[in-house]
Amino acid sequence: MAALPDGTYMILNGAHQGVGGFGTASDPNFNALLYDPSQPVGSRFSILANTTIARMYHSEATLLPDGRVLVSGSDPEDARFPEELRIEVYIPPYLSQGLTQPIVTVLHNDWAYGGQYQITVQSFQGQALRVSLVGAVSSTHGNTMGGRVIFSEFSCVGPVCTVTAPPNAQVSPPGWHQLFVLDGPTPSHSVFLRIGGDPAQLGNWPNATGFNPPGV
């Protein structure tokens, strides 16, 4: 399950019967589903297009910066469904309407909780804007661990918008996020932001001879 920048969730891969891994699942699921929590109860799921590739245990769905979803993997240790090395890219409904994606520019990508930061937005549809922050987390074992979508408060004067960062770690644990601006239903390409600093000091790589820091 992958969180999308418009607040919906894409659910795909897996099987209709059994449990993950080691030959214990059958009847692969080839359809993608979209879950929209803004719709009334009983009308929140819709069936999207399908694939021909069985993606069972150890498959993934990862949100890309351009708003598409990278679909990969499958290694159930099962002779019926061999390890899958092919990858696919899924185009969610918000990119299938032929509308031009807005363009967003961010000057500062290290945000403090509750801070206000300016971004520049070029929109093409003239529809209502939204700013969403999608947790940039890893995808494995059925969902993006810790995945979240936060719609930030903002105000705009012409193309310049002032965005308010999440207030605290309870709303958004420290880490990296993808910032999207939506022009109506259509998201921009994302910009990666770090919100809440680096309290665990994960960025403090060893200062050792011959060690090249792999950081961002």
Q: What is the CA radius of gyration of the chain?
A: 19
Confidence at 142, pLDDT banded by 50, 70, 90:
low
3-state secondary structure of 29: coil
The mean pLDDT value of the chain amounts to 91
Residue 65, pLDDT > 70, answer yes
12 neighbors 32 (Cβ within 8 angstroms): yes
Cα–Cα dist 63/95, whole Å:
13
Residue 52, pLDDT > 90, answer yes
**Residue partners of 37: CB distance under 8 A and separation at least 6:** 7, 8, 9, 44
